[in-house]
Amino acid sequence: MGRENELYRDKIEVSLDGRQIFSLYFAGAVIVCTVFVIGVIVGKRVEARAHGDRGGGAVGDPLAALDRLEADAPLSFRSALRGGPSAGGAVDAEIAAIASAQQAAGGAPASAGAQGARGDEEDRDVAKAAKAKAAAEAEASAQAQAAEAKAKAAEAKAAEAKAAEAKAAASARAKAEAKAAEAKAEAKDKKARAAKGTFTLQLSSFQERGEAETFLVELRSAGYAPFVVAAQVEGKGMFYRVRLGSYASYEDAVKAKEDFERKVHRIAYVTRQ
């Protein structure tokens, strides 16, 4: 009894793995799609034949034309022997009419397609012209802006050059005035010293005006009142001589020289003014 149960269980147990399930599902989907496609094709065929029957053969297929001819005049060998109307000629005429209708129907879309192509080409030409015009306007605007910027830069440069020229002229004029005032002061001092005496003490001589001025500051801080005399030495250039005092006699100048050297510890020379 137990063995019979096991045999019965082996007979009724069915096991399916994943690959078998997928194969069954895929086969079922293929069958459903095939049935659907066949139904669509058959439906379109029936609908086309129905339209051909209602339209009197303006648009249809040769099989529908043959069906209509068979309904009107049966095609048989006997009718051909009797010399009746030529079935072949009627079929050829029907087929020619259908071909003409199909050609006319196909020509209209072609014409519409040509018109659409021409319209698209015209649109592209218009867009291309608009783009070229926009590019030309942008380039002209950029050139105008560049020219304006260049003109402004030239104006700024000219104004800067004019300001620099004015500044240089003012500086030169100030230097000339200062030099004239200095020469006038030196001439005045020389004239005053000449009126007071004949001799003076020369403390040092420099080729740079700045060095002479520095030495003057040092002597003035020691309580003296020196002055500078500019003299042109032939073959050597301009020298700035630092001198001190104005004395009527040589003895007075020598006495002043000794007193200066003792206090400042610098050598002085007695010379004529």
d(CA 260, CA 237): 29
Burial class (CB in 10 A: 0-12, 13-18, 19+), 52: buried
Within a 10 A sphere around the Cβ of 134, how many other Cβ atoms? 10
Q: What would the mean pLDDT of 76-91 be, rounded to a whole number?
A: 52
Please provide the average confidence, as pLDDT, over all residues in the chain: 78
pTM over 0.85: no
Tens of pLDDT, residues 129-140:
888 989 999 989
Q: What is the pLDDT of residues 181-239, one digit of tens each?
A: 777 767 766 665 555 568 999 999 999 999 999 999 999 998 999 999 998 888 888 99
88 against 35, higher pLDDT: 35
Q: Tell me if 270 sits within 8 A of 253, measured CB to CB.
A: yes
CA dist 205 to 126, 215, 228, 239, Å?
A: 91, 10, 9, 6
Structure tokens given for 20: 């078998």
pLDDT of amino acid 252 = 93
How many other CB atoms sit within 10 Å of the CB of residue 177?
Answer: 10
CA distance 228 to 183: 11
Which of 199, 204, 191, 214 shows the shortest CA–CA distance to 245?
A: 199
At residue 198, the pLDDT reads 87
What percent of the chain stands above pLDDT 90? Answer: 27
Whole-angstrom CA distances from 97 to 62, 67, 68, 74 are: 10, 15, 14, 20
DSSP, collapsed to helix, strand or coil, labels residue 270 as strand
CA 243 – CA 202 distance, rounded (Å): 4
Instruction: Report pLDDT for 210.
Output: 92
- Distance, in Å, from the CA atom of 165 to the CA atom of 169, rounded to the nearest integer, reads 6
In the predicted structure, residue 91 carries a pLDDT above the cut 70: no
Residues 243 and 227 sit within 8 Å (Cβ to Cβ): yes
